[in-house]
Structure 1
Amino acid sequence: MSEDLLCSGVWQGKAWSSGWNALQGGILDVEEPATGQTIGRVSRANAADVRAACAAARSAQKAWVAMSYAARAAVFRKAAALLEANREAFAAWIVRETGGIPPKAMFEIDSVQHHLFEAAAMLTQPQGLVLPSEGGCTSITRRVPHGVVGVISPFNFPFLLSSRAVAPALAAGNAVVLKPDPRTPVSGGVLLAVLLEAAGLPAGVFHMLPGDAEAGEALVSDPAVAMISFTGSTAVGRRVGELAGRQLKKVALELGGKNVLIILDDADLELAVSGGSWASWLHQGQICMSAGRHLVHRDLAQVYAQRMAAKAAALPVGDPHTAPVAIGPLITGRQVERVDRIVQESVRMGAKLLAGGRCDGRFYHPTVLADVTPQMPAFREEIFGPVVSITAFGSDAEAVALAADNEYGLAAGIYTADVGRGMVIAEQLEVGLVHINDQTVNDNGLMPMGGRGASGNGSRHGGPANWDEFTQWQWLTVRNTAPTYPL
């Protein structure tokens, strides 16, 4: 295969010319959120396709893990090099299919490259421990692959969130079956499949099957799959956990968030506004780490809200493929309706609408709500839209109590001039990620990403967590001579 990985003509709504169109579940039209146009087509997987892929993956896994570590590592390094050579074409798909601005697409590509290099590095890391032993016995414990790992990825950062599970799972010696979100089958699946195939990954080790709930439930329930890695909504995550639990499968759930940004009375207001804007409006707020609640000390709340409203009014909204905008479209019309429902219900309950609160098709304008109380949907529900929700507090203890008044536990940010004060608050927050003097949307391939409560089951992706998630311990003892026993 040439290094021009993406065939010409893919923008004209033609069928994707690849082997992944041999699935039996019909056709998925790839829709551009900004225009509603069909920009490609891929085959849809049904339950029978999933069963066949899982069986094939199980058969291929043993040969994959038996390859030398150098040969396996070379696949990931080659994939990273091919991605660098094709970054503009890959970015164009991410922009058009997800509605994200070009810098967001480039961030995904840079992050995937990082994950690929980290996957290659995993192959030369220690994979076990020598345990205490006596009597001529050697006792070790080692990490061994699960076998087949199923990955279900979301629409918002599809290339990154597929790759961050697929790459380390493969590096750990597993075969992988990926089901990308049906709204982003190219960015979430085809791009990665093309990349790994071109990099020399052996046939059968990785299967990519776009599909809907039928394919997802078949993947979670298949007896050949030993582990499920799911990233998506809390509601669907509960269903995935239920199905996996019936078969006692390992399951990693990275779910939603209603994250808090706490701005204390001694905070640098300019930096807090900058961070808050990023945390709620990046990629239209369609990020699990987005700041869903801005908790601002009452001495700063009014001016903070005013500055946020001024910034919202200045942000350009439009098609990121054709114009230099800051805010692109939401993924579907249904999501626009959900965001607007939360905003309008909160306004009827007494929240002050200072900016936005309106849409043009799938473009929801950046919105600022002040005087939000814990009873309002803007405080309680994950919005997944470009909405800043501001609640005032009077003391550090009240800020901590407001932060805890929610079932989610993913991310938090604290702005303060007193780092010690920030640490005291941070230690009281039951979240997986917390940042002092930074906002909530932070990510890199070395940190263990995941949440608590309704944000996840304590599983993690990234860095040292990859060995924990994608392998299991095996105890091995070796003796020169077998012992005798008294029975």
Structure 2
Amino acid sequence: MSLSASDKLLSDLRWRDRLFNGNWLPSQGGVCEVVEPGTGEPLSSVGFANATDVTTACADAAKAQAEWAGLGARERADLFRRAANILQQNFDELSVYVARETGGIIPKGQHEVREAIAILHHAAALAQQSCGEILQSPPGRLSLARRVPRGVVGIISPFNFPLVLSMRAVAPALACGNTVVLKPDPQTPVSGGFMIARAFEEAGLPEGVLHVLPGAAEAGEALCTDRHVQMIQFTGSTAVGRRVGELAGKHLKKVSLELGGNNALIILDDADLDVAVNNAAWGAFLHQGQICMAASRIFVQEPIREAFTRKLAEKAEQLPVGNPAAGQVALGPLINEKQLQRIKSIIADSVAAGARIEAGGEHEGLFHQATVLSGVKPGMRAFDEECFGPVTNIIGFNTDEEALQLANQHEGSLAAAVISPSVGRAMRIVDQLKSGLVHVNDQTVNDDANNPFGAPGVAGAGSSVGGPADIDEYTRWQWLTIKDTPPQYPF
């Protein structure tokens, strides 16, 4: 597919001050200016949905759902493949835009587009999977347990990896026969919403099947309470996830939560020091630590703790910080001033409680240095809270049992990892880690398009999305029996 310059995939003439329902329409809630974190300059202007916009979209999605679910599986699969091809054909343009809107480095933008393409291909396969079983039944009756669409799925996605985390829910929900109302974070509405809308629009998705409505809490609460919505899939902070779960539960909706977590990377004393430092730096500082899987707590066995701390601090000091669109840097800006102030507060409070800054700790505007804290202990904010910034904390331990006890000292952990050449030793720890994603001889930031993604406790209440979990999430069981003729009952 070749688009003209005036009709290119990311021409904001399409979405400027608009929302999407298959067409581009004005918003009842006004408009929202999107600011590029790396420059502080306006990047775009989009429609800003209010509760009225959400109510209208949910009703329209409900009307469109039966016809969409009735479309042949092969036709739906072909549509996802076309959408994937459109993303591939516009790969460079999309990658740069994701990087600019999120404040990420260009390889991070490329990763998001690449994963979104993989997710679309997964959805194409999902659309053609058999979903059910033939049950034992008396002669003369066919008894089936089958998976059917839930109906309208509301999706609320975050700012940090907006394209991946929106597409991860949108594509499988659509593949299972649902219609979708997507509320991307208003800080990243194009990467998290309109980029997806444009790909599906060009691929030929019918009107009303996908709605994209950037908005604030009012729009999110309207989505969680609307009578036409059968399910909410939310990715974001634990605090907002509690509110989403409360509202969805009150209205008896299926809810899927993918939240944060105070993640643990355990370095055993037999680990290769340089390899361990390399893994730790990547897991801690990728995308400024604004990743739900970031290695925020690094547990290092005492015989190598001092050397590890020195090497990690040296590496952190060498990581360049700046605008990713203007040069080769390792860390870009934080998403906003609020997040910056929270990170500064966690560092200051932890230092006041006895932690030490081994590297970093300073910032210039939204550009915060890679920061390493040592002497961190339970009870300090740096140990107890997810920072969601370029800050990692080193905690020493003596025995494997102590490492396990410290690592599990949380209300919920999304990811954990153990590095050791002794796989058996690492597995004895891994088998007892209370985390949703666990890795041996790797750092904590890992995600493929085909893996179940979720965690217990405050990291997501045990729900998962992705790969084999998608059918469970986006469909429900229905029992169907078929007889040739109705039976005669005694009354």
Q: What TM-score comes out, normalization by structure 1 length? A: 0.97
**CA 1:6–1:31: 2 relative to 1, 3 Å:** farther
**Counterpart selection for 1:389 from 385, 393, 396:** 393
> Which residue in the other structure is 2:428 paired with?
424
Equivalent residue for 1:243, pick from 247, 256, 268: 247
Q: Which residue does the alignment assign to 1:457? A: 461
The C-alpha deviation readout for 1:17-70, integer Å capped at 9, x for no partner, is: 985451111111010111111111001000000000000000001111111111
Match for 2:197 among 193, 218, 222? 193
- Deviation readout 1:341-376 (Å, 9 max, x if unpaired): 111111111111111001000000000111111111
Pick closer, same or farther for the CA change 1:458–1:28 going to 2, 3 Å. Answer: same
Q: Note the residue ranges of structure 1 that are not aligned, 5 or more in a row.
A: none
Number of the residue aligned with 1:75: 79
Number of residues of Structure 1 aligned to a counterpart in Structure 2? 486
- Answer whether contact 2:136 2:143 (CA < 8 A) is retained: yes
Instruction: Measure the CA separation in 2 of the matches of 1:8 and 1:179.
Output: 19
Q: TM-score, normalised by structure 2?
A: 0.96
CA contact (8 A) 2:18 2:27 kept: no
2:324 aligns with 320
**Which of 142, 158, 179 is residue 175 of structure 1 equivalent to?**
179
Q: Secondary structure at the match of 2:326?
A: coil
Structure 2: gaps (5+ residues): none
1:415 aligns with 2:423: no
Q: Residue by residue, what CA displacement relative to the aligned partner does 1:366-392 show, whole Å, maximum 9, x if unpaired?
A: 001111111111101110101120000
How far off is 1:16 after superposition?
Answer: 7.1
Query: Who is 1:164 aligned against?
Result: 168
Residue 31 of structure 1 aligns with which residue? 35
For 1:366-381, what aligned pairs fall within 5 Å after superposition? 366-381=370-385
Whether the 8 Å CA contact 1:351–1:371 is kept in 2: the answer is yes
User: Could you tell me how far apart the structure 2 residues matched to 1:16 and 1:367 are?
Assistant: 40
Percent sequence identity over aligned pairs: 52
Given that 1:24 and 1:45 are in contact with CA atoms closer than 8 Å, whether structure 2 keeps it comes out as yes
Give the distance between the partners of 2:431 and 2:164, measured in 1 at CA.
30
Provide the residue aligned with 2:3 in structure 1.
3
The structural deviation recorded for 1:167 is: 0.2
- Contact preservation (8 Å) 2:265, 2:295: yes
1:86 match: 90
- Rounded to whole Å, the distance in 1 between the matches of 2:274 and 2:344 is 28
| 8 Å contact from structure 2 (residues 19, 47) kept in 1 | no
- After superposition, give the CA deviation of every residue in 1:147-187 in whole Å (9 maximum; x if it has no partner): 10000000000011000000000000000000000111111
Of 354-363 and 134-143, the range deviating more from structure 2: 134-143
Q: Which letter maps to 1:472? A: R
1:241-298 Cα offsets, whole Å, 9 max, x none, are 0000111100000001110001111112111111111111000000000011001101
User: Residue 55 of structure 2 aligns to which amino acid in structure 1?
Assistant: R
CA distance in 1, matches of 2:275, 2:24: 47
Task: Indicate how the Cα distance of structure 1 residues 9 and 172 shifts in structure 2: closer, same or farther if over 3 A, else same.
Answer: closer
CA contact (8 A) 2:182 2:193 kept: yes
Which range is displaced more, 117-126 or 173-182?
117-126
Structure 1 position 14, deviation (Å): 7.0
Q: What is the Cα deviation at residue 485 of structure 1?
A: 3.6
- 1:65 maps onto 2:74 in alignment: no
Q: Give the partner amino acid of 2:248.
A: A
* Aligned position for 1:260: 264
Pairwise CA RMSD: 1.7
Residue 6 (structure 1) shift: 3.6
Q: Distance in 2 between matches of 1:407 and 1:216?
A: 25
Provide the residue aligned with 1:220 in structure 2: 224
AA aligned opposite 1:210:
P
